[in-house]
Amino acid sequence: MLITIKYFGSLAEVADCEEESIDFLGSHISELLDELYIKYSGLKNKDFLVAQDQELVPLETKISSKEIVLLPPFSGG
């Protein structure tokens, strides 16, 4: 399944893009992250949340959307 992944904040710097499409064969968000951790080792040092269908979801959630958003917490003010 072709999934679009959007990277917010400093994650876009790790992935060197703001979004990308990847062909993903697994079924859960945790599996998708495992693939992304291999692709971008810097991602392991980042804290971030995952959203699909405009909702923040736990990592054990089954992927049901073609768009996944990864967003880090911001601290600046």
Q: Which residues would be at the binding site for other proteins (CB under 8 A)? A: 8-10, 45-47, 49, 51, 54-56, 69, 71-77
Number of residues that this document lists for the chain: 77
Least CB distance to other proteins at residue 69 (A): 7
- Dist. CA 77–CA 66, nearest whole Å: 33
Q: How far is the CB of 44 from other proteins (least distance, A)?
A: 10
Residue 25 Cβ, how far from other proteins at the closest point, in Å? 26
22 or 61, CB closer to other proteins?
A: 61
Beta strands 19-23 and 49-52, pairing class: unpaired
CA 54, CA 25: separation in Å to the nearest integer? 22
